[in-house]
């Protein structure tokens, strides 16, 4: 799968560092959590979908790391950096053993099919 991303050669040299470093800290934080934990849920306050994902994991007694970034009213630029990095357009972003599996409904489908447990074994 190749996702279209603006080529560096099409970004003026004077702003390349701005583009490259925009909210890098939040991306590094998520990357580190994904490396260090089997299950990572990235969400935001006030959004019911991350709550549904966490509830589904709680119901099957799986430990996970939850990272929350802002709400509908704040930190949207920082969350946008995560969307651009992952390519996933909504929250939550759920990672299983380093693999982005999608959001809450995708997680529930993997639980129902038994594939989630296979991924963790």
**Residue 1 has what pLDDT?**
73
Q: Could you give the CA distance from residue 121 to residue 118 in angstroms, rounded to a whole number?
A: 5
- Encoding tokens for residue 90? 């909504």
Residue ranges per domain, the chain?
A: 21-96+104-120
**Residue 25 has what pLDDT?**
96
**Residue 3 has what pLDDT?**
85
**Residue 2 has what pLDDT?**
84
> pTM score, two decimals?
0.93
- Averaged confidence pLDDT in the chain: 96
CATH placement of domain 21-96+104-120: 3.40.30.10
**Residue 73 has what pLDDT?**
92
Q: What is the pLDDT of residues 18-45, one digit of tens each?
A: 999 999 999 999 999 999 999 999 999 9
Alpha helices for 1-121 (secondary structure H): 16-21, 24-36, 48-59, 76-86, 104-113, 115-120
> Which residues of the chain carry a pLDDT beneath 50?
none
């Amino acid at each position: 799968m190749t996702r279209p991303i603006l080529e560096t050669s099409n970004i003026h040299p004077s702003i390349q560092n701005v583009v490259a470093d925009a909210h890098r800290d939040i991306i590094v934080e998520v990357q580190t959590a994904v490396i260090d934990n089997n299950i990572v849920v990235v969400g935001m306050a006030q959004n019911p979908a991350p709550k549904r994902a966490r509830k589904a994991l709680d119901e099957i007694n799986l430990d996970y790391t939850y990272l929350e970034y802002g709400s509908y009213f704040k930190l949207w630029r920082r969350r946008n950096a995560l969307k651009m990095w992952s390519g996933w357009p909504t929250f939550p972003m759920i990672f299983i053993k380093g693999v982005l599996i999608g959001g809450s409904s995708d997680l529930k489908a993997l639980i129902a099919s038994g594939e989630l447990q296979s991924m963790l074994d």
